[in-house]
Amino acid sequence: SGAASSLQHACEPSTYSDGDYADVDWDNLGFGLLPTDYMYRMKCFKDGKFEQGQLSRYGNIELSPSAGVLNYGQGLFEGTKAYRKENGCLLLFRPDQNAIRMKIGAERMCMPSPSIDQFVDAVKQTALANKRWAPPPGKGTLYIRPLLMGTGPVLGLAPAPEYTFLVYASPVGNYFKEGLAPLNLYVEDEYHRASRGGAGGVKTISNYAPVLKAITKAKNRGFSDVLYLDSVNKKYLEEVSSCNIFIVKGNVISTPATKVEERVISVDELVNVDEVFCTGTAVVIAPVGSITYQDKRIEYRTGAYSLSGSCTQLL
């Protein structure tokens, strides 16, 4: 698609051979960290501008114990993927959109953010420097994780005086252990993901740890993941812990407002829809086989929409 951006320097089809791949069991990739060769780092001191960044070997970083990110959760993350084409090129899917989302999040979290060009350049450099870790076509992708963190020291509650933008990468396969088999979701009505006026609309790191309790509870009961309801009416679908949700009725695909199409979707509607699927950068497109709400399990066919969507279709 015209939306995918090719990493020109990565296209060396005549010189790239099997021996240039990292030593990885490409047929058994899940969504776990496999440390790669390089990470990219760039700092911002008091003037709000990021200095020239650079690649270094992937490894641990040193942080002040009073870093803003450690004490008050002043941090954001992004996720994007590099896909290897048959001809050896790596492709990225609209990395500028991740940069824009990080900028919006940074504004909400009182952080300076890299410019769109700085962000995209850092993602490209990280992908290319770790090219041997990008799985062969059809075996997975190179997941790229940009982080923006308050790394300067604070004690009182205030924006940190220094920030670090860091990008690392890991080869990944399917996010869920179910692979491409349908997921069984559990509708959570005790814990909520977001509230009005909160930071649920941005990708701050502090939106993720609070769902671990709900995920653990659901997984212990045999479910794949959790579907959250809005915190005001406790009725409208919001999202799954790691991805978005779509429902299909007839030939209409709907998703909760603020995402691609906009309308509220009541949990009561779930008995009436034909198909349900999840989408996300990590998750890609995952069909949902059942949703359990207040001990009632609703089963879905999987087919027309959800199964058409494994990752490479984006390209």
Return the active site residues: 203
Residue 239 C-beta: closest distance to ligand COI, Å: 10
Residue 280 binds to ligand COI (criterion: CB under 6 A): yes
Cβ atoms within 10 A of the Cβ of 68, count? 26
Find, among 108, 76, 82, 113, the residue nearest to 95 by Cα. Answer: 82
Q: Which is nearer to ligand COI, 154 or 288 (CB)?
A: 288
Least Å distance, CB 204 to ligand COI, is: 11
Distance CA 240, CA 175 (A): 13
* Binding-residue pattern over the window 41 to 80 for ligand COI, x denoting contact by CB under 6 A: --------------------------------------x-
| Contact assessment for residue 93 and residue 80, using Cβ atoms and an 8 Å cutoff | yes
Q: Which is nearer to ligand COI, 152 or 281 (CB)?
A: 281
Q: What is the CA radius of gyration of the chain?
A: 20
CB of 242 to ligand COI, least distance (A): 4
Helical H runs in the chain? 68-72, 95-108, 116-129, 212-220
Number of residues that bind ligand COI (CB under 6 A): 5
CA distance 179 to 272: 26
Q: Which is nearer to ligand COI, 147 or 270 (CB)?
A: 147
116, 282, 298, 307: residue in contact with ligand COI (rule CB under 6 A): 282
Cβ proximity to ligand COI: between 242 and 254 the closer is 242
> Closest separation between CB of residue 31 and ligand COI, Å?
7
137 binds ligand COI (CB under 6 A): no
Over the window 229 to 268, marking each residue x when it contacts ligand COI by CB under 6 A and - when it does not, the resulting string is -------------x--------------------------
Would you put residue 3 in left (φ > 0), alpha (ψ -120 to 50) or beta? Answer: alpha
C-alpha span between 99 and 204 (Å, rounded)? 14
Examine residue 309 and tell whether it contacts ligand COI (CB under 6 A). no
List the interface residues with ligand COI, window 142-201 (CB under 6 A). Answer: none
- Find the distance separating the first CA and the last CA of the chain, reported in whole Å: 5
Closest by CA to 80, choosing from 65, 94, 70, is 94
Rule CB under 6 A: say whether 204 interacts with ligand COI: no
Task: Convert residues 74-103 into a mask of x (bound to ligand COI by CB under 6 A) and - (unbound).
Answer: -----x------------------------
Helix or strand or coil: residue 214?
Answer: helix
281 binds ligand COI (CB under 6 A): yes
CB 242, CB 214: distance < 8 Å? no
CA-CA distance, 182 to 300, in Å (whole number)?
A: 9
Query: Could you list the residues that contact ligand COI (CB under 6 A)?
Result: 79, 242, 280-282
